[in-house]
Amino acid sequence: MFADWVQRELHPSFTPILIQLGNLRVLKDNLTDTLENYLQHLDFVTSDSGWLTDKNTRFLFLMDGFDELLLEGRATGGLKEFLGQVEQFQKDRLCHHQFLVTGRPLALQGIERLLSQTKSLKRVELQPMDDSLRQKWLEKWAVAAQVNKSEFEKFLQACLMKSKIT
């Protein structure tokens, strides 16, 4: 949803690229090679070798699920190596792109020091919505989904209950 909003509201200032990190199977030697390797399997056009260095194009990389980099079955690399690649990319290129990496905080155990020692990586935490904000959110999504607000709320509750069961 956020990538869609960025595309509608911020393009061409930023072009969003959503990367599901759970599908990232190989970490190459640097972030450029890692991204090109991952994106070529999604039919992402990278015919221009300077696509990441073009100062006229700014990407917002939405890298979702860093906690999934810890799972077994990955050919090479892990969370620490990946975050190191992001940091090095930003340092080397005086990066004009932005990165938003999401995941569960438990996955950061053991690498908190890396985050506290670097100036180019910042950790932020999403806070739960209060009741008034939740109601506004429900009203907006009910309009967007073209459904009754109470029906939409019941649907979300059912989804929440299903996720607790599985």
Residue spans of beta strands (DSSP E) within 27-141: 59-64, 98-102
Question: Is the model's pLDDT at 77 over the cut of 60?
Answer: no
pLDDT of residue 52: 78
Query: Where do runs of H (alpha helix) occur along 56-148?
Result: 79-93, 112-117, 131-145
Q: What is the pLDDT of residues 29-68, one digit of tens each?
A: 888 888 888 887 776 665 566 777 778 888 888 888 887 7
Residues above pLDDT 90, as percent of the chain: 0
